[in-house]
Amino acid sequence: MNTTSQFRTCPDTGFKIHRPAETLIKLNAVAAVIFLLIGGVLGIGVGLTRWPEVHLLGPDTFYQVLTGHGINVLIFWIIFFEMAVLHFASAVLLGCRIATPKIGHGAFWLMVVGALVNNYAVMVKGNSSVMMTSYVPLPADTLFYVGLILFAVGALINCFMFLGTLVIARGERTYEGSVPLVTFGALTACIIAIFTIASGAVILIPTLLWNLGFVSHIDAGVYRLIWWAFGHSSQQINVATHISIWYLTVAVLFGAKPLSEKVSRFAFLLYIAVLQIASAHHLLVDPGLSSEWKIFNTSYAMYLAVMASMVHGLTVPGAMEHAQRARGYRSGLFEWLRKAPWGNPVFSAMFLSLVGFGVLGGITGVVMGAEQINLLIHNTMYVPGHFHGTVVVGTTLTFMGITYWLIPIVFRRQVVMKRLASWQPYIFGAGMSGVALFLMGAGTLGVPRRHWDILFTAADGGHEFSAAALTMMSLNGMSVILAAVGGAAFILVVVVSVFFGPKIPENQKVGTFMMAPRVTDEEFATNKAPLTVPGTLVLVAVFFVVFALYYFINWKYLAQTWGLS
């Protein structure tokens, strides 16, 4: 059953690749891109409707499209891709066979069916415009919940396959010592995913039963508490996964090694620590929970994760700087960065994502997660602005970048339209950064999220948002178009490459740069500077100053509003 013909050796990386694992990686990655396309097109509808001068869709269609956009990109695109990453980080990086490939196919199709059933309820039946959060007692079609549950079961099976593959690798001694850091990061993502899906089951199964009439009542507050244990933790899966990919990227592009295995691994572990209360910062202005509960849970759970991300924010570019300096790029503070391959989309996507995730997503997430500052921000456009920084500039852009590397390595096809590909991360990154910034600007000025008409043309009494707020929404619309161009470029390059790109024979090298040789200890020893990563330290210092200033400015805003106690 475990014959050698089931494996091939990658001529560029030297990885021993189990063919059934490779098939599953391909399937999940292709499905991911299809749902990115669906969700992305729906996102254009959202952006153009919220552009006040354009106001593209009618209200029914808008709420429907907004629901579909959220679920397709935030759940289906990202989780399908994460399944591919889990299999890559286990079977490929450990050079072992994947556990239960047949069940893997079953799980994959279960996820596909679940995603289609959910989309059928939202987009075709049209009676499930309940947003991704589906807060009770707002009712959706039964198939809405059934679709999500099927999808989650499939994802859960994939998680257990990942754990099974780790057991096989250890049992068959396909590696020595500890698992690679990237696999370790993927393991934390997998553990978080299991907790997340369990929370999802705890809330979605009773909600399904309520929908069917077997349960008479679900408390709105309790729903939110448990739903966010699922909804927020799933973002921790994304973070753990895309940071693993950052480490992977700097390893294959620069031959970099982590500054310290201990620090990076501990930082990953922090994502798991007290994960179960990570939902608290979504409930900061909810009734029925005490301030003590909110503060303890928010700060205890959240700031540990914040610390972890800030540490990775140093160690990822630090590992790169360390390697580049060892290779001789050591003039001044930033030669290591200037001489990076900015035309290679694998690198540019990763680095833009690193900066965008930290500055646009990270800082703002902490600010709005402070109990009292949340009063200014809860359910305003600031919230989608923030998570377009984390999940799109962060996770999605990272996944796009590594896809350019996976196409030759796993799909054995050349990436075509290389020029377009080299521009793509910049176009998408700029567009999406605009979305994040302008939405947060509008949110700061009070514009509500999930709202069809902020001009209140038909609302009794009427309300006028400031001209600045409306301008922010128009600028957001323009940024959406730019991001859509970048997104379309990605899909075009990927689809044409994977299905029509020149094939690369199995034993032939790709021909372009795929894998940097490991930086040797001798090379590292040639760099005798007292500080290993001065450039990165300057970068994180600038980041920290911006962070602290912005944090305290928001307290000042808060002090100007009504007294509340």
Partner 1 sequence: MAIYPPSNKLWWNEHIEKGELIWITVVVIWGIILTLMMPLWHIYGKQNMSSEAYRVTPEQYLAKAQEVVDQYTVRTEGAFNTPVVKPPVGSDIYLVGRLWQWWPIFELEKDQSYRLHISSIDWQHGFSLQPANINLQVLPGYDMVLTVTPNKVGKESIVCNEYCGIGHHNMLGTIYVVEKGAQ
DSSP code of residue 125: I
Residue that has been written with the tokens 């054995």 in this structure: 412
SS3 call for 196: helix
> Which positions from 502 to 521 touch partner 1 by CB under 8 A, shown as an x/- string?
----------------x---
> Which positions from 78 to 97 touch partner 1 by CB under 8 A, shown as an x/- string?
---------------x----
* Among 117, 156, 190, 314, contact with partner 1 (rule: CB under 8 A): 314
* Among 98, 143, 319, 391, contact with partner 1 (rule: CB under 8 A): 319
Cβ proximity to partner 1, 33 vs 65, nearer residue: 65
Cβ proximity to partner 1, 429 vs 441, nearer residue: 441
How far CA 162 is from CA of 66, 191, 365, 535, in Å, comes to 33, 10, 30, 37
* Among 4, 5, 216, 290, contact with partner 1 (rule: CB under 8 A): 290
Residue that has been written with the tokens 């593959």 in this structure: 165
Dihedral sign (CA 445, 448, 454, 460)? negative
Nearest to 466 by CA among 442, 449, 439, 450: 442
Cβ proximity to partner 1, 324 vs 433, nearer residue: 324
Kindly state the smallest distance separating residue 471's Cβ from partner 1, in Å: 16
Residues of this chain, 165-194, that bind partner 1 according to CB under 8 A: 175-182
Q: Provide Rg for the chain, Cα atoms.
A: 23
Cβ proximity to partner 1, 149 vs 284, nearer residue: 284
> Which positions from 370 to 409 touch partner 1 by CB under 8 A, shown as an x/- string?
xxx-xxxxxxx-----------------------------
| Number of residues located near partner 1, criterion CB under 8 A | 110
Cβ proximity to partner 1, 190 vs 251, nearer residue: 251
* Among 236, 315, 422, 476, contact with partner 1 (rule: CB under 8 A): 315
* Among 224, 232, 325, 413, contact with partner 1 (rule: CB under 8 A): 224
Please report whether residue 103 would count as binding partner 1 according to CB under 8 A: no
Residues 518, 331: contact at Cβ < 8 Å? Answer: no
> Which positions from 116 to 145 touch partner 1 by CB under 8 A, shown as an x/- string?
--------------xx---x-xx-------
Nearest to 422 by CA among 391, 400, 454, 444: 400
Residues 167, 99: contact at Cβ < 8 Å? Answer: yes
Please report whether residue 259 would count as binding partner 1 according to CB under 8 A: yes
Q: Which stretch binds partner 1 (CB under 8 A): 69-77, 252-260, 392-400, 403-411?
A: 252-260
Kindly state the smallest distance separating residue 154's Cβ from partner 1, in Å: 27
Kindly state the smallest distance separating residue 125's Cβ from partner 1, in Å: 15
The DSSP-derived string for 255-275 is: ----S-HHHHHHHHHHHHTTG
Residues of this chain, 543-562, that bind partner 1 according to CB under 8 A: 544, 547-548, 551, 555, 558-559, 561-562
Please report whether residue 465 would count as binding partner 1 according to CB under 8 A: yes
User: What span, in angstroms and rounded, lies between the C-alpha atoms of 37 and 94?
Assistant: 32
Residues whose CB is less than 8 angstroms from the CB of residue 237 and which lie 6 or more positions away in sequence, other chains included = 79, 82, 189, 192, 193, 196
Residues 238, 82: contact at Cβ < 8 Å? Answer: yes
Structure tokens at 149: 């549950």
Angle at 164 between CA 230 and CA 198, to 5 degrees: 15
Kindly state the smallest distance separating residue 150's Cβ from partner 1, in Å: 25
Cβ proximity to partner 1, 306 vs 436, nearer residue: 306
SS3 call for 58: coil
Please report whether residue 467 would count as binding partner 1 according to CB under 8 A: no
Please report whether residue 220 would count as binding partner 1 according to CB under 8 A: yes
Residues 94, 169: contact at Cβ < 8 Å? Answer: yes
